[in-house]
Structure 1
Amino acid sequence: MKKIFTILGLISVAASMNAQIVINEVYGGGGNAGATLKNDFVELINNGSSVVTLTGAYLQYASTNGAFGPSGSNNNPLNNKLALPLITLNPGQKYLIQLAAGNGGTQNLPTPDFAPSGTAFPNQPLGLSGSGGKIALTSDSENPTAANGSNVIDFVGWGASGVSLFEGAGAAPATSNTTSISRTNGIDTNNNNADFTAGTPTPENSNTGSLAVTEISRGKSSNFVKNTFVKNNEITFGADVKDVKVFNMFGQVVKEASVKQNGTVNVAELAKGTYIVTGTVNKEAVSQKILKD
């Protein structure tokens, strides 16, 4: 699909070849039965190699079989579109848009980059289906009629059964109250069923780009976290590490410390699950994923 962005106030077709803002994750089960998160959300990402500014764009939603705009089905009769503010993202940086809240859930999203009020839409905030639907990121407010429409920057149709529009050969997987769809390794081949994977929601805002630090190779792992599977409530480090930070999967810092070689950080207060540990070893920023049992 053609992707054209406004960069520093100018339309630059050449820049769109190596810098693009696309839909990275979609979650529609916020606040529903069994959900942890209180809100639906859509997360964007710049998966190109240059800074990109997107202006005048809209986020539009339609139900699985509904049309975009007022001519939608009975399940989606309203004009569900959101005018986005000016967005500037560095390569790899994400942008979190908080959408409708349900009556349940126990956890707020990370601080959203944009959280529209109910007045941003005719009569209601944007509420997504928990299992399937269609999201279009468009360059203007015109209702798209195809996944590759002239004003479509990016498009995701999800829900394996019956979704009417999608990019490529098939729709992205169905979601639930506890799962979202997110890009597989950040890939955008304009084929929704290949580009998206269903899994646990992992909303991240523009400030979580700091997690994109140098990856640990096998050769360096012994100089950082020695026990990536934590069973005794302590993370053991194999080197002097400055500025240790432990992030949960929502990009929130839940522990900070500095340790000496073979020193430990106690994480007894943290729930079981997956975390990212970052730090500085010999002036090099490093990171490691850990699993706390």
Structure 2
Amino acid sequence: MPKVAALQGLLPLLDRHLIDRPADLQRNGIGRFIVEFFYFGVKEARACLFAGLFFLSVFLVPHSGLVGIPRYDLLLIIALAIQAWMVWAKLETIDELKAISVFHLIGFALEVFKTSGSIQSWSYPDFAYTKLFGVPLFSGFMYAAVGSYVIQAWRLFDLRVRHHPSYWMAGLTALAIYANFFTHHYIGDYRWYIAACTLGLYARTTVIFRPYDQDRKMPLLLAFVLIGFFIWLAENISTFFGVWRYPNQIGAWSTVHIGKWSSWCLLVIMTFTIVANLKHIKHKIHVPD
């Protein structure tokens, strides 16, 4: 308990340190690069706190579960405990929790559809008491983890966005992305058409972020691609540990198809759009007239 209390007190202090703008760093060249790269890594790790703890649990919980609790049920308990602890420790606000709950519901609905008998894109083979429509309830937290990362990174890096597309166009694109996850089983996969539209929509969009004391910028599309890549890596690790399986992995594990990278990139775009609206941060986004 003393260690938990110490951690509870340390993390809010770390957050304040990371968010407060420090005095100008009187360094240039390699010295500045090292400091900024270090703080960039610390902020990224902090933004991934929920995702990191949750996926660490995925890797550490035995396939057979613990003390008579099936693995999927135990993962749900752990995810709920992590979420409750983050709110209790003031590492996450109630409004942020509400936003993350939206991602949980959106993700769970997609899981139910994808694992249904008529689709069977993947499956959750293990027994669990907390399965609903054949899907363990913990699965929604995998999508919530993406939302949690975007929300935390937005705050820690003081993100601002320049040349953001019109909100109705961004919202329509996000809706098309989500709908295509369902409809491509019936009327064809239009992800590349949607991706092409997204490329044009966000071509001029730049994200401004602060690793340490100075603002840096990068194309928002590049950020989407990089985040999608790391989620694809996490998916490979999760399927390797048998948390869920694609049909081609039932006999023996194989790498998740590279095409899933594009799906995760599109999901990140949808997540970003939802966060931008739910957090009411339009005043930090430049929408040209």
| Structure-2-length-normalised TM-score | 0.28
Higher RCO structure, 1 or 2 (CA under 8 Å, sep 6+): 2
Higher strand share: 1
Q: Whose helix proportion is higher, 1 or 2?
A: 2
